[in-house]
Amino acid sequence: MHASTGKGSKVKYSRVLFKISGEALMGSRPFGHDMEVIDQLCKDISDIYKLGVQVCIVVGGGNIFRGAYASLSGCERASSDYIGMLATIINALILQNFLEKNSVNSKVLSAIPMVTICEPYIRRKAIHHLKKGRVVIFAAGTGNPFFTTDTAAALRAVETNCDAILKGTQVNGVYSADPKKNEDAVMYDRLSYMDLLTRDLKVMDASAISLARENSIPIIVFSLKEEKIVNIVKGHGTYTIVSDCE
């Protein structure tokens, strides 16, 4: 972790990867996009951008298409996953539009080359954009079927030397059980990577957790509705941190 100062305000993490699920873009809608929710999300990202924090984003596509569900319904799995990757590109372009509406310079880099609408993913190019003060949105997952956008988030965080992975969810941390179904569920302030794996806590998939563990990148799980991202990067607020550091 690298402490830095942006415009007079101390932050705990100077370069972060923000993992946003496709479902987070739906708001209360059953499908698609809630533009007011997306606008507010981009305003929150703008707050940390103005502090000088370098921001990467990986966005899912579940608000448009879920490859796992389609494959269960008879669609061939690899094809389903590629369709899901295309959904993430749509979401990335929408995020880019709303970020720029909020005066945040951003670039979309896709693991599947689509040069008419965005740049292809090149690691050194991504780092160059970050150093130039641009938010980088990674689209199309890893570019390979059978890997989730959680794994893509961990991979891109490692490749771009991020200080932390911010995982925005519907609840304010990691619980022992689903707090919406079990009122006795306990929220954890801190967990180790092995705790997530051995207790089968559904935060990120095993590949993503293993990548983060091997490269000592903390995973911070917080509520998109109840917590401001700016508090997280300053080390404040309510969240669960997954790390092997005491």
- Tens-digit pLDDT profile for the chain (246 aa)? 444 444 446 899 999 999 999 999 998 898 999 999 999 999 999 999 999 999 999 999 999 987 666 767 778 989 999 999 999 999 999 999 999 999 999 999 999 999 999 999 999 999 999 999 999 999 999 999 999 999 999 999 999 999 999 999 888 999 988 888 888 889 999 999 999 999 888 889 999 999 999 999 999 999 998 899 999 999 999 999 999 865
pLDDT tens digits for 92-133? 999 999 999 999 999 999 999 999 999 999 999 999 999 999
Distance CA 195, CA 209 (A): 10
- Give 124's contacts (C-beta < 8 A, 6+ positions apart): none
pLDDT of residue 171: 86
In 3D space, the residue among 55, 75, 48, 226 whose CA is nearest the CA of residue 157 turns out to be: 55
Q: Are strands 187-188 and 135-139 parallel, antiparallel or unpaired?
A: unpaired
Distance CA 12, CA 51 (A): 11
Question: How far are the Cα atoms of 19, 29, 148 from residue 155, in angstroms, in the given order?
Answer: 12, 30, 11
CB 104 within 8 A of CB 42: yes
Strand partners, 110: 120, 139
pLDDT of residue 5: 44
Strand partners, 214: none
Q: The dihedral of CA 149, 174, 217, 227: what is its sign?
A: positive
Distance CA 3, CA 11 (A): 6
- Give 117's contacts (C-beta < 8 A, 6+ positions apart): 89, 93, 108
Distance CA 197, CA 200 (A): 5
